[in-house]
Amino acid sequence: MKQETSVVSASLNGVRNSPRKMRLIANLIRNKEIHRALDLLTYSSKRRVSFILKKLLLSLLSNWKKKYNEFYSEKKEFLYIKEIRVNQGKTLKRLRPVPQGRGHRIRKRSSNIIVILDKKKEI
């Protein structure tokens, strides 16, 4: 028996926000339905991170429509975020001058985000 998989993914690499800040919002939308997650991101207080994740979710929804044409497009309420991972990307290392001619290292972190969308089983 062949089992159909209805999984679509989208990723975004090199986002100039630290993974810790991104995970705060990613944890809010994990395992939520897609329209509920978009609403949470619209009214979130973390504006910059929410804007990035919202654009990624809209891209994910577009990928879903492209893969399955319009067969599942009406049933958005059954689409949910199966998995969202925020990993650390490249770190830019900079020096900040401090007293007595020294320099302290500043680490500017970036994130890699992977989101997987799936279809809920209808009851």
The residue ranges of every structural domain in the chain are 8-119
Question: What DSSP string describes the chain?
Answer: -PPP---EEEEEEEESS-HHHHHHHHHHHTT-BHHHHHHHHHT-S-HHHHHHHHHHHHHHHHHHHHHSTTTSTT-GGGEEEEEEEEEEEEEEEEEEEETTTEEEEEEEEEEEEEEEEEEPPP-
pTM for the complete prediction? 0.85
Residue 32, amino acid: K
8-119 has which fold?
Ribosomal Protein L22; Chain A (3.90.470)
pLDDT confidence of residue 37: 95
Other CB atoms within 10 Å distance of the CB of residue 9: 13
Residue pair 34/76 in contact (Cβ under 8 Å)? The answer is: yes
pLDDT digits (tens, 9 = 90+) for 67-117: 887 555 555 558 899 999 999 999 999 999 999 999 999 999 999 999 999
